[in-house]
Amino acid sequence: MRVSSVPKASTTTVNNPVIPGFHPDPSVCRVGEDYYLACSSFEYFPGVPLFHSRDLVHWTQIGNALDRPGQLRLPPGTPSSGGIYAPTLRHHDGLFWLIVTNVSGDGNLLFTATDPAGPWSDPIRLAGVRGIDPDLAWDDDGTCWCTTAGVEQVRIDPRTGETLGPPRRIWSGTPGAKAPEAPHLYRIGDYWYLLIAEGGTERCHGVSIARGRTPTGPFEPCPANPILTHRGTDHPIQNTGHADLVQAPDGSWWMVLLGVRPYGGTPGWHVLGRETFLVPVEWVDGWPVVGELSPAMPAPPWDLHPNATAPGRDDFDPDDGDLAPYWISLRHRPPEDCTTGERPGWLTLHARGGSLDDPGVTFVGRRQQHPACRVRALVDPGEGRGGLAVHLDERHHYDIEAAAGEVRVRARIGPLDSAVASRPTPAGPVVLRIEVTPAHTVDDARTGPDTVAIGIEERDGTFTELASLDGRYLSTEVAGGFTGRVIGMFASAGSVHFDWYDYEPLGH
């Protein structure tokens, strides 16, 4: 095994997370000098966002692996935080391989592509593979091993999905630690390494590793386990786990993982979901030693390649074709309900659900990726009803809705449904606006993570705030689940038209 050191500290720093916002369960692979990364998508369509990078720091979304109904079946009964869990992305024998679990009915599925930007194949069903968080690894003789949470392993034929023998338990992580999951198996030097997450995906999350001489074990746990955790600390990055390793062309090693950034007082609330972070790794005596995970980390010792960042504004030009890959919808997106061709230069949404409480509502949104941001959209409700929403799930969302010369602000918090404010507006299009401001100081231990201000933008550009709402109620610590906020456009009655949507970060 080649032993490499943590790169020397650089005077240049880069921001962590490297992929901010609701981008959990990262899995990474390298082909030549190019890196590719996939994340979980849960109940959102299209599924499994895919990213490309040349430096592990700057990532550009190049598509979504599951962008056809035949690949991603999320029936109306799919609950929030159901759907697509924990992909593993690998490159082998000239193909990209993506294995993932659809917990809402289809089980474990395998997809292939020659280009990670797509198109990806129809699913190969893995009926004999049990559990979630599936991983793929190939032995020197071409044998393909699939390892799942638990930790259980079975040999498969990846071309057909057939299992080739019974599954067997190979390692259960640290005794007493719950939820051994997110396994990744690697051949590195003379050993096979089995990397897992354990402790649950909340504050006790951590990364542990074991090694063996064969892919089936027996596995010897690292004496320094967990090799990464922030449990029991006041570190600004928490819930660290679900990691994947990758080696750079210069021989250095790196780890991508998920984590959260809690804000506010006790117990701390995270609202952006679980995000993707990067940390260097050093090998010492045959074991990985993880470097410091920090919000501002030393830049890697190679040229950085800034990504083509997603534009803040979308004018819905029909000449651009399909919506950009960062736009996501709940469970499915029938083209007849979401089109830029019906009214050129506008996005038209046709309602199919009565409100954002309805799992089938017509909704198109973007992940909130910054603790402070401003979102604006010009909406023409016509004879319909619709607007902007900050959405966590069907029971936790804030929205501003325009209809018939009036706008209304509504808050749904669990069993409580409140009409917060309303105001008449002139007939015709209106600019709706949402501003999110994080809590930078905690005057009271009960201080929430941020404030969500909702209102309209006047013709002179001034903001008329109709409501200022506590952001803690749109957090995972209140709502539960595995997702993060998505801020988007919706139609709750008739047809609603959107001329443009603008997302503006207000600081990192």
Helix, strand, coil tally for the chain in percent (to 5): 5, 50, 50
Show the tokens assigned to 140.
Answer: 């020197």
Residue pair 181/133 in contact (Cβ under 8 Å)? The answer is yes
* φ, ψ of residue 231 in degrees (nearest 5): -60, 140
The residues, any chain, with a CB within 8 Å of residue 161's CB and separated by 6 or more, are: 110, 124, 125, 126, 127, 128
25 classed as catalytic: yes
Catalytic residue among 55, 135, 181, 450: 181
Distance CA 206, CA 228 (A): 6
DSSP string, 256-323: EEEEE--BSSTT-B--S-SEEEEEEEEEETTEEEE----SEEEPPSS------PPPSEE---GGG-SP
Domains located in the chain, CATH noted: 13-298 (2.115.10.20), 313-505 (2.60.120.200)
pLDDT score for 508 = 54
Per-residue pLDDT for the chain (508 aa), expressed as one digit of tens each? 333 333 343 458 889 999 999 999 999 999 999 999 999 999 999 999 999 999 999 999 999 999 999 999 998 889 999 999 999 999 999 999 999 999 998 999 999 999 999 999 999 999 999 999 999 999 999 999 999 999 999 999 999 999 999 999 999 999 999 999 999 999 999 999 999 999 999 999 999 999 999 999 999 999 999 999 999 999 999 999 999 999 999 999 999 999 999 999 999 999 999 999 999 999 999 999 999 999 998 989 998 998 777 789 999 987 777 899 999 999 999 999 999 989 999 999 999 988 999 999 999 999 999 999 999 999 999 999 999 999 999 999 999 999 989 999 999 999 999 999 999 998 889 999 999 999 988 889 999 999 999 999 998 999 999 999 999 999 999 999 999 999 999 999 999 999 999 999 997 5
Assign 3-class secondary structure to 351-413: CCCCCCCCCCCEEEEEECCCCCEEEEEEEECCCCEEEEEEEEECCEEEEEEEECCEEEEEEEE
3-state SS class at 472: helix
Show the tokens assigned to 349.
Answer: 């949404």
Question: Which H or E element spans position 84?
Answer: strand 84-92
In 3D space, the residue among 278, 285, 98 whose CA is nearest the CA of residue 209 turns out to be 285
Show the tokens assigned to 477.
Answer: 């610590």
Residue/partner pairs of 8-11 with CB below 8 Å, 24 or more apart: 8/298, 8/301, 9/298, 10/298, 10/299, 10/300, 10/301
Catalytic residue among 25, 135, 380, 435: 25
